[in-house]
Structure 1
Amino acid sequence: RRAVEEGLLDPKRTVQIGIRGSIYSPDDMSFAESSGMRVIYMEEFTKLGPAKVIEITRRVVGDGPTYVSFDVDGLDPVYAPGTGTPEIGGMTTREAQEVVRGLQGLNLVGGDVVEVAPPFDPSGNTALVGATFMFEIMCLLADAVARRRK
């Protein structure tokens, strides 16, 4: 929201995937939708499946510069319990990996992984998930850079 208000993010080229639960205020979600963001709630994700979500995402972001922010809160806490707001009913790591890999070929310019809180997960699984998704994003970036150099 703040990035849109500051003019740093084009909401019409923004997709939020896997939103669920009560952690977002109705005002925040109303803002996202009224500003033109494409919000794919978890219920819709489940109905559409990863392939259709990838198709929608690619259509929304188009050919312009794209930044991917992966929030581990979008995963079910069985896969990433070490986060600030764990909530059941999220994506599996396999579904999320399919979506991220489906972004190959976009004009990627950067990415990050957020909400990894290792102290909340002594098993280390969340840290592994976060590092793995950062690796996936870095692979997409390497491909995007190589394509731009051709």
Structure 2
Amino acid sequence: MTSASSASAASNGPVGPTDSSRVPRYAGPATFARLPRLDQVGTADVAVVGVPFDTGVSYRPGARFGGNAIREASRLLRPYNPAQDASPFALAQVADAGDIAANPFHINEAVETIEAGADDLLATGARLMTLGGDHTIALPLLRSVAKKHGPVALLHFDAHLDTWDTYFGAEYTHGTPFRRAVEEGILDTSALSHVGTRGPLYGKQDLTDDEKMGFGIVTSADVMRRGVDEIADQLRQRIGDRPLYISIDIDVLDPAHAPGTGTPEAGGLTSRELLEILRGLASCHLVSADLVEVAPAYDHAEITSVAASHTAYELTTIMARQIAASRG
């Protein structure tokens, strides 16, 4: 019997991960961090949900398998997070909500389905830790979060801007979600930042258009030269006390740290830099987050999915700590 199998334990506090001293980490269902399923605990403070959708990619496909790859890699996560001095799964109920299944043959319909699925989960009072999928899914997730919180601050970790207009006439792709979000008024344009961008662009106009939308840019070279503490401080000041959504494309990491992604670019962050920046944002009001573009077909030795599982763990810890603090 696993700890997740006893939903009655929820009345005495959060139901945590399966006990690895009784069930080996490689055994049993691959829920995120071996946590209970949402249907086992009824409600959750943080719902980890997959969106296996990659119809919006412009280069290598395969991110539809990313969520489950992250779940598999997360088997090795442990209950205590020393970097944040917290046991997140004891502070708040975190549960795996399964997947939002979307039509792989119709992007517009898929965007609507993802938004509706996120609406349902947010309506329970949960914050979302979403595992993609490609970056197209950020738009419906932001729409859903904005219904609850109003326009949100956005930190976008990515090698790319993702504020282009269309690809082949399509408005919804993994390169366009944040332009659409600005156009729809669901982002607080006084608190928008890209982090980790690098590589060639189509032209200088890409940067001009991006700046007009309100985005600030911290390049991967900025992180290298200025250091993670200074960057985190800059981001905290820009965000202030606004409700914050964090969207992370795993290609923000250098291909040495994340080869398993669809559009890799040289010169990226290390996994250590990404994790340390996130830890430096622990005081920000994080209302939900996503982690996208993990493509396991290109991921030798699970390097990318391991980095992604630890990234999701840090984000989940931040949310759990804030939920616990709000309850006194």
In structure 2, which of residues 218, 225, 250 is the aligned counterpart of residue 40 of structure 1? Answer: 218
In structure 1, which of residues 30, 50, 62 is the aligned counterpart of residue 228 of structure 2? Answer: 50
Distance 1:7 1:36 in 2: 12
In structure 2, which of residues 297, 300, 312 is the aligned counterpart of residue 134 of structure 1? Answer: 312
* Unmatched segments (≥5 aa) in structure 1: none
Q: CA deviation at 1:23?
A: 5.3
- Given the two structures, how large is their TM-score scaled by the length of structure 1? 0.92
1:6 aligns with 2:6: no
Q: CA deviation at 1:143?
A: 1.1
Distance 1:111 1:85 in 2: 21
Q: CA deviation at 1:19?
A: 0.3
Matching residue of 1:117: 295
- Cα offsets for 1:9-30 (capped at 9, x unmatched): 1222111111000257644432
Matching residue of 1:102: 280
Provide the identity percentage: 39
Q: Give the AA of the match of 1:39.
A: I
Matching residue of 1:60: 238
Matching residue of 2:18: none
Distance 1:96 1:90 in 2: 10
- Given the two structures, how large is their TM-score scaled by the length of structure 2? 0.44
* Unmatched segments (≥5 aa) in structure 2: 1-178
Matching residue of 2:271: 93
Q: CA 1:46/1:122 → structure 2, altered by over 3 Å: closer, same or farther?
A: closer
Structure exhibiting the larger radius of gyration computed from Cα positions: 2
- How many residues matched? 150
- Cα offsets for 1:29-81 (capped at 9, x unmatched): 32221222111122222221111110110001110111111221111110100
Q: CA 1:92/1:24 → structure 2, altered by over 3 Å: closer, same or farther?
A: farther
Q: CA RMSD in A?
A: 1.5
In structure 2, which of residues 249, 252, 261 is the aligned counterpart of residue 71 of structure 1? Answer: 249
Distance 2:315 2:211 in 1: 26
Distance 1:13 1:25 in 2: 25
> Given that residues 259 and 300 in structure 2 are in contact (C-alpha distance below 8 angstroms), is that contact kept between their aligned partners in structure 1?
no
Distance 1:43 1:122 in 2: 26
Distance 2:321 2:205 in 1: 38
